């Protein structure tokens, strides 16, 4: 590259940067494909880098372990469609906060125990298949989280105002 080309490109870059907010430029250059999790029962943390399509096997294993049935320790594969929905919710709400997990996978034993104490637990819960998660976002009110999830029409959305969480699953679109 000669001096003239260098100066021309430097001037173009300077003009471009002056017309664009620096953080906006970074956001477009480096898309936020990270979901930061905190499990409210185990107090574990996990950062998932996920592009919506590919997830390395080692990362999946860590994710499955993180979202295990915390009562029994049972680990089960998690539908990565849930992670796609969570990324879309982050984008929709502008959330930069932490995804607080109340429940991920549930073993049959745990589900039966919860059903015996509450009428709000489904016999064939999608938690049993690793296709549901109960969450809240640290920087988004749960009502807004619910509304964003519903607007996606990407699966089931349950709103539990008293317990302050939203159920999200990859089943048919429905709300409660």
Q: Which DSSP string corresponds to 47-87?
A: EEE--SS---HHHHHHHHHHTS-TTT-------THHHHHHH
Cα–Cα distance measured from residue 174 to residue 176, given in angstroms and rounded to the nearest whole number: 7
CATH number of 31-175: 3.30.1380.10
Cα separation, 109 vs 63, whole angstroms: 21
The predicted-structure confidence for 95-140, as pLDDT tens digits, reads as follows 999 999 999 999 999 999 999 998 889 999 999 999 999 999 999 9
C-alpha distances out from residue 155 to 5, 31, 81, 82, 105, Å = 52, 24, 9, 9, 17
Give the per-residue pLDDT at 175: 97
pTM to 2 decimal places? 0.80
What pLDDT is recorded for position 3?
72
Determine the average pLDDT of the residues in 68-90.
Answer: 97
Measured CA distances, 34 to 26, 75, 86, 120 (Å): 15, 22, 10, 31
> So what's the pLDDT on residue 5?
64
HSE at residue 39, side-chain half, CA atoms within 13 A, is 20
pLDDT in tens, 3-18: 766 566 666 666 555 5
CB 67 within 8 A of CB 102: no
**Cα separation, 76 vs 129, whole angstroms:** 8
Q: Which tens digits make up the pLDDT trace of 149-176?
A: 999 999 999 999 999 999 999 999 999 9
Mean of the per-residue pLDDT values for the chain? 89
User: Of 39, 154, 142, 161, which is closest to residue 95 (Cα–Cα)?
Assistant: 142
Domain ranges of the chain: 1-30, 31-175
Confidence of residue 53 (pLDDT cuts 50, 70, 90): confident
The first and second tokens of residue 3, run together, are 């001096």
């Amino acid at each position: 590259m000669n001096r003239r080309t260098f100066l021309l490109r430097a001037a173009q870059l300077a003009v471009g940067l002056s017309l664009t907010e620096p953080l906006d430029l970074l956001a477009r250059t480096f898309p936020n494909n990270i979901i930061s999790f905190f499990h409210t029962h185990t107090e574990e943390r996990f950062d998932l880098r996920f592009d919506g399509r590919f997830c390395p096997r080692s990362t999946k294993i860590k994710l499955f372990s993180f979202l295990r049935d915390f009562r029994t320790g049972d680990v089960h594969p998690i539908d990565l469609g849930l992670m796609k929905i969570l990324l879309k919710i982050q984008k929709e709400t502008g959330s930069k906060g932490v995804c607080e997990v109340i429940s991920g996978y549930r073993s049959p034993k745990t589900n039966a125990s919860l059903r015996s104490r509450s009428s709000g637990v489904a016999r064939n819960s999608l938690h049993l298949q690793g296709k549901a998660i109960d969450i809240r976002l640290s920087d988004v009110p749960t009502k807004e989280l619910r509304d964003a999830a519903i607007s996606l029409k990407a699966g089931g959305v349950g709103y539990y105002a008293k317990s302050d969480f939203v159920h999200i699953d990859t089943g048919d679109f429905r709300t409660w």
